[in-house]
Amino acid sequence: MMIKNKEIKKLILVEMIFLIITIIFSIFIANIINNNYKQEIINNNSYIVGSLIEKHPELEDDIIASIILKENYELGNSILEKYQLNNVDYINYNNNYLILILAIAIYLGLLFINFIFIYNMYQKIKKIDQYMNNILNDDYSLNIKEYCEGDISNLKNDVYKMTVKLKEQSELLTKDKKYLEETLEDISHQIKTPLTSMYMINDILTSEKNERIRKEFLIKNKNQIERIEWLVISLLKLSKLDSGTVKLKKEKIKVKDLVNKAIEPIKVSLDLKSIDLDLNLSNDTVLVDINWTKEALLNIIKNACEHTKDKITITSKNNPLYLEIRITDNGKGIAKKDLKHIFERFYKGSDNKDSIGIGLNMSKKIINLQQGIIEVETKENIGSTFIIKLYKNNL
């Protein structure tokens, strides 16, 4: 109940003390007013009696007796009325207390109105308190939007805004939790595949006597270890990008130098696959985080290397809005059903079961982090082109 509220108790106590002080002060003032009127009456009677006795000393006893016994009241009143002397305001002792009682009644009425007002305010605050408890229990179904003015209404609106924000955060956390579960499942699956292969290779190695075959399987085992290592390193990089802890260090570098740095780790692989690399790069300078941008380009070039027939073309051009880098292969292109999913994490194309599905997702995150965009164009049996645009107002 409201009366249990300490603040309300304190307010009622203060108002009761103020009421008592008001009553005492009113009685004191009423007594002063009454005494002043009594003194005025005594002065008037003294003046009248003194004047009459001075002129008629022999009538002293009769005059005093008339005053004490209040005789000839009607005669005296008619005479005062004749000379219009009966309009003098007179408030006796009882009238003073009637005024006091009226003042107390008005005060109590105001106190009652104040109580009703406070009670309504308390009910509103109690409702907000209940609502916030519901929020703590993950119940966001109530709506307390307020369209009136006032502090309570402002408080309700602020609580509503907080509710909306908490609801969004709760939904985001749920989404992140689900995403984390799915990611862990994917990671588990990606690691499980090479581990299974390694166990099988290990079983073969323990029983195989032929050195040539043993060497062949050791190379396969090494490849699986490298795949796991690359997966772990890539996942660590992705986690940094997702957490927002990556601090970009932008530096000026020529596009030609940036692309050459990206190509360097896979030059041997390109030679072994007899892939012709055609570079047509300008001398334009770009302001980017060199290491992360190199990583993005490397992943796209790796993807092109996996899907091309025998050629990869990398070009760049400059315009007033952005600097563009195009990476083109001459493979069979990307299937329509795969095209809208190629930048999703762990997504594997229908014709590429060996892919882990991390590289393109990482490249997109890196480019987007630098306020750039990455697009893809593809034609069946002609090839695909990945287009990177780095806008100059964000460089």
**Residue 91: its pLDDT value, please?**
46
pLDDT at residue 388 is higher than 80? yes
With beta carbons less than 8 A apart as the criterion, state whether 33 and 96 touch.
Answer: yes
The pairing of beta strand 250-254 with beta strand 285-289 = antiparallel
Tens-place pLDDT, residues 298-312: 999 988 998 898 899
What pLDDT sits at residue 228?
Answer: 79
Q: Report how far residue 280's alpha carbon sits from residue 325's, in angstroms, rounded to the nearest whole number.
A: 10
Structural contact between residues 390 and 372, judged by C-beta atoms closer than 8 angstroms: yes
Are 262 and 224 in contact, with CB atoms under 8 Å apart? no
To the nearest whole number, what is the mean pLDDT of the chain? 78
Between residues 125 and 323, the one the model is more confident about: 323
Q: In the structure, what pLDDT confidence band is assigned to residue 102 with cuts at 50, 70 and 90?
A: confident
- Domain layout of the chain by residue ranges: 2-136, 153-239, 249-394
Q: How far apart are CA 316 and CA 323, in angstroms?
A: 7
- For 280-335, how does the pLDDT look when each residue is reduced to its tens digit (9 = 90+)? 998 889 899 898 899 899 999 988 998 898 899 999 998 888 999 999 999 888 88
Residue 370 has pLDDT above 80, yes or no: yes
pLDDT at 254: 92
Banded pLDDT at 127 (limits 50, 70, 90): confident
Q: Taking Cα atoms as reference points, which of 350, 339, 324, 321 lies closest to residue 377? A: 339
Q: Say if residue 84's pLDDT is above 50.
A: yes
Q: Token pair for residue 201?
A: 């290779």
- Burial label for 295, CB within 10 Å (0-12, 13-18, 19+), is middle
**What do you get for the CA distance between the two ends of the chain, in Å?**
63
pTM of the model: 0.54
Sign of the alpha-carbon torsion through 348, 349, 351, 352: negative
> Is the predicted pLDDT of residue 182 greater than 90, yes or no?
no
What is the rounded average pLDDT of the residues 214-231?
A: 80
Fold for the domain defined by 249-394? Heat Shock Protein 90 (3.30.565)
Cβ–Cβ under 8 Å, residues 125 and 7:
no
| Whole-number pLDDT of residue 140 | 63
Kindly report the CA angle at 172 between 168 and 176, in degrees rounded to 5? 175
In degrees and rounded to multiples of 5, residue 125 shows phi and psi of -65, -40
